[in-house]
Amino acid sequence: MKRLNIGIVNYEIGNYASLQNTIHQIGYRCQISHDKKLLNKCDILLLPGVGAFRPAMEAIKKKGLDSFLVEQARHQRPILGICLGMQLLSDGSYENGYSKGLGLIPGEIIPLKNPRWHIGWNNIKILRNDSLFESSNGKSFYFNHSHTYQGPTQYQVCKAMANKAIVASIRRQKVLGIQFHPEKSQLEGKILLKHLLSKIDNA
C-alpha cells in the first residue's frame, strides 16, 4: 500500500503548524515547503490559509508558486485549499480591492454582508452527490471568514446556512476547496480530512 506524501505549500501566511499537527495526528506524513522540487514529489498539495487574500497572492507570486500550482493542477495533482486557501483557487477576490487568484476554479470571492463575518461552528449540507463529503453531510465544522465564494453552481459542493447560504466547499476535478477549518473542527474535522486525503485522488 502506497504511503501518501503530503505537501503543505508554504507562502508564509498561513496556519501551517495547526495543519501539520492534524495531518500527523491522522496518520500521514507531510512537509511544509515552498521548494517546488520538493512539492513536485508530493502526492497531494495543501494550500492552507489564515489571512487576507491580497498579501497571500503576493507572497505566492513572489515565490513563483502561482505558475507551479497551475501546472500541478493541469497534471491532475490533487490540490486541497483550506479557508483562504480555497479562496485563492478562484479567479480573484474583492478583499481590499480586486486581486487575481490562481484561476483553478471559476468564480470570485466577494465580501459577506449582514453580517460581515461567518465565524464559529456551522453545519454543512451537500449540494450534489460527492463521495468525498457524503459522510460529513450535516456535521458541524469551524468557519472563520469575511469573504465568500460566488461562482457557477457546477463547482459548488457544500453550503452552510447563515442569514443566507454560504458556499462551504468547491471542486473542479482534483482541485478542491473547503471554506471551513477541518484541522480545527475536532473529531469531525479529522474524520473529514482523513477521508479527503485518502479519496481525493480517486474520487
Partner 1 sequence: MLKKRLIGVVTIKNSWAVQSVGYRSYLPLGHPEYVVENLDRWGVDEIIVICIDRSHRNLGPDLSILKRLSSLRLSTPLTFGGGIHTAKQAVSVIQLGAERICIDAVLHDDPEKIFEMERLIGSQALVACLPFSIKSKVFFWYNYRTQKSIPFPKKIYDLFNKGLISEALIIDWRNEGSDNGFDINLIKKFPFKNISLIAFGGLNRINKLTAVLKCSSVVGAGVGNFLSYTEHAVQTLKTGLHQCQVRPSVYLGTV
Residues with catalytic roles: 83, 181, 183
Which segment (61-69, 73-81, 127-135, 140-148) binds partner 1 by CB under 8 A?
Answer: 140-148
Cβ nearer to partner 1, comparing 18 with 198: 18
**How would you classify residue 186: left for phi > 0, otherwise alpha for psi between -120 and 50, otherwise beta?**
left
Cβ(93)–Cβ(87) below 8 Å: yes
Sign for the CA dihedral angle at 78, 82, 85, 90 comes to positive
Secondary structure class of 115 (helix, strand, coil): coil
Peptide bond into 182 cis (omega under 30): no
Subset of residues 165 to 184 that bind partner 1, contact rule: CB under 8 A: 181, 183-184
Secondary structure class of 154 (helix, strand, coil): helix
Peptide bond into 78 cis (omega under 30): no
Range 131-160 burial, b when 16+ CB lie within 10 A, else e = ebbeebeebbbbbebebbbebeeebbbbbb
Q: Does 50 bind partner 1 (CB under 8 A)?
A: yes
Cβ nearer to partner 1, comparing 40 with 140: 140
| Binding-site size, partner 1 (CB under 8 A) | 44
Q: Does 12 bind partner 1 (CB under 8 A)?
A: yes
Cβ nearer to partner 1, comparing 21 with 150: 21
Cβ(8)–Cβ(31) below 8 Å: yes
- What residues contact 41, with CB distance under 8 A and at least 6 apart? 5, 7
Q: Does 84 bind partner 1 (CB under 8 A)?
A: yes
Binding residue for partner 1 (CB under 8 A) from 90, 93, 156, 185? 185
Which segment (9-17, 61-69, 71-79, 99-107) binds partner 1 by CB under 8 A?
Answer: 9-17
Q: Does 133 bind partner 1 (CB under 8 A)?
A: no
Q: Does 62 bind partner 1 (CB under 8 A)?
A: no
Which residue ranges make up the site for partner 1 (CB under 8 A)? 12-18, 21-22, 24-25, 50-52, 54-55, 84, 95-96, 115-122, 140, 142-146, 161-162, 181, 183-190
